[in-house]
Amino acid sequence: MSTLGWIHTIFGLVALLAGSAVLATRKGTRGHRTLGYLYLTSMLGLNGTALCIYNLFGHFGPFHWLAASSLLTLLAGMVPVFTRRPRGRWLERHAIFLAISYIGLVAAAASEIVTRIPGLEASFGAAVGLTSALVIGVGMVLLARTLGRSMRRMPAHWQKGVD
């Protein structure tokens, strides 16, 4: 693996660990914010390095588009935090977009692992597609089931949309 590949992998592992910790911690605390910024930074590094890796297709390909969409998801999740907009809904948007970001990260990691299984080289596209669809489907169901509970665990003044 190249140096860039190793850096990409390390960013990915840090993002997976930080994202898991963010989901497990009480929301709105200093620890949550610190872990959140670690997740954000590692995701920026992960996607930045992904945009520089061309050895799979030799040109800008589908995984580059996914990295770009991941960057947009991060942006959609962080802009509401910085602007506190839309008023009364910014926290929900932050939670939804960053949860989607993490679901995408887990789908990408699972797909990477599955494609390393001997014998699946010939069905690379199907392995990536099916694994990603499964992880994203399960992730979205879990998000729908847990978002309300997670939002209720926020500090009371944030729940009411007061800044």
User: Buried b vs exposed e over 73-108: b needs ≥16 C-beta within 10 Å?
Assistant: bbebbbebbeeeeeeeebbbbbbbbbbbbbbbbbbb
Mean pLDDT for the stretch of residues 115-139: 92
* Chain segment 96-121, per-residue pLDDT in tens: 999 999 999 999 999 999 988 998 87
CB 96 within 8 A of CB 102: no
Write the single-letter amino acid at 103: I
Q: pTM for the whole thing?
A: 0.89
* Chain segment 26-66, per-residue pLDDT in tens: 888 899 999 999 999 999 999 999 999 887 677 777 888 99
